[in-house]
Structure 1
Amino acid sequence: MRQITGYASQQGSDGVAPYAFERRQLRPDDLAVDVHYCGVCHSDLDAVDSAAQGPARLVPGHEFTGRVAEIGSEVTRFAVGDMVAVGNIVDSCGACTACLAHQENYCHAFPTLTYGGSDRHDGLPTQGAYSTGYVVRENFAYAVPPHLDAAAVAPLMCAGVTVWEPLRRWQVGPGTRVGVVGVGGLGHLAVKLAKALGARVTVFTTSPSKADAAYALGADDVVLSNDSDAMSAQHDTHDLILDTASVPHDMTPYLRVLAMDGTLCSLGIPERLDFDPMALLIGRKSIASAGSGGTRATQELLEFCGDHGITADVEVVPVAEVNEALARLRRNDVRYRFVLAMKA
């Protein structure tokens, strides 16, 4: 087994603490990756809080970049020394219709998660990348474009691909009118990517103070969603809205902003979806959802970001300051994603 050090949940605590554990020995199609940078996602907070209720330790971290340290005997796409990126899915059944369509994120047998899942071969719990190293199947690792900052690439593997899939599914391009609700980890990348695809982009926010930042990201318009007159002026004007808000909220105003046959895609995974059915009915509008991304979309995203020079806006902190980063994330005190530097 491979000896690894990392940071894991603690029973009865809302933080993480140093933790030594083991990774599996390489299988033929495995890579051993020395983790350099790992993003800090809101879902990490939820996972740490849940794990703190029980005795088992959980190592978070599901969007990371690092260098290949060793390869299995059947690996063909990577060599030792390559910089790779890994997201929140590290395996799937490979045989269902979703997997065969390279949509492993919707695997009928449920994908193996980077942490908090179960290995499909030995049944052991998966542990994440708040750690010095990770072992991953070759098919779920991706080449990092060499001219991009590896720290700022890490959040593309979760936040980035989560917004990328619906942008491609609804064929966003020149002339498409896209709205983005919320300018956080997902929202800021939605603005960058939609704009690079050629769309006209409107940011909907409740905070006037975020307007300058939204324009700096590339937004064409910023609308205060708590201003009823401003929202009324937007009725029937958008083809697609990506709603990245994670707290329960009324989606009715955004449905009214959609043009006929428009789609509101909920990405923030709120506890419930609230809306007026009449706002959905009038204009033959749709509510949809999406989550994470499959291998084909993830590779496409990284190539697109390489071609257009797109990365996440990040604040890089030493891994020793992980608990401060988690505490600040609870307060939404970050623009727009924390990334842990795993190397001293």
Structure 2
Amino acid sequence: MNFGFNEEQKSLGETVAALLADFPALTGPDPAEARDSAVWQALADLGLFALLVPEGHGGVGLALVDVALAIEALGAGLAPPIAASTLIATDIIVREGTAVQQASLLPRIATGELRIALAVLENGQSYDPDAVQTVMGGNGVTGSKILVPDADIADLLMVLARVDGGVGLVLVARDARGVSIRHHADIDPSSGLCEVTLDGAALMEGALVGHAGSGDVVPRLMDAAAIVYAGMAMGMAARMLDASVNYAKTRVQFGQPIGAFQSIKHRCADMAVAVEAGRSAAYYAFWTAAENDPDRSRAASMAKAYCGEVARDVCNETVQIHGGMGFTWELGLHRFLRRAKVLEHGFGNHVWHYERIMAETLAAQAAGGKAQVA
């Protein structure tokens, strides 16, 4: 059995990486100048947002595992977060949306006409979706969301809210009555993190994603988002590893490249092992999502927790290997560390996901299933 990516999947990742390289401001030193609206249109023209859309709705009909390397490239290129959010929302609509929602939304997503932001986290609440306090009722949607990437440039908000005693996903137009958006002052201005206040926000027709009572809508969102974030984290980690190795080969100290010193060799080797292990975890999680495997939630949490830690540590090590230059604004390594910290806490940090892994494993044991080693 071939567990590797095929040539088309590899080519897709390389193409996305090459496109993002044409926008140097994305990885430039100043995060405040890294939000370029032309990037979205370039990705749309490339056909990125049509990849997960079924052929019957004007797309290509691929699964998440097919775009894993493209998602890595989005991370490595510090692409606008709205691109990843829209891909995640597309997966949810394809898997859980009603026929009417799919017919209305998917063709517009495929052409790049529709951008979707994910509004999940709330101030003072945990990462657990069941802790959400935002409510959808007869008067619309009421509540407040924080750390919503690129909410100010989205066309739709996919909002986690309480619905009829349960928890579901509700679509709200960004310019709907009762919606107000305020930018956060945060570690990574290029992420466009916003606070979204919903004061009886007007509901669009067919606002509730999926059929009422559908049990997998919210778990699928948390899993798909965790997996996509893990993939982007590994893209950044791999790029920082390459930067460290290249610098170690060219920076000369005491008459030889610093890569000849054991302390630097060991750091680079440790990073390389961590990156490969993280990629394995992420790729397996992408596969479970594509196949809707029973191990999906546990795989998603393993990938999100571990890959977030790997990206953070590799970014920190890269700064250290570059010495004093690594701390300078002009070199731009801080851009990747900033984004890594944002991704690390999006859709559950490592603590929340490790606890989720234990809960999933214990539940499987209690049910008589064969526990897998995390």
- Normalised-by-shorter TM-score class: under 0.3
Name the structure with the higher strand share: 1
TM-score (norm 1): 0.27
More helix as a share of residues = 2
TM-score w.r.t. length of structure 2: 0.25
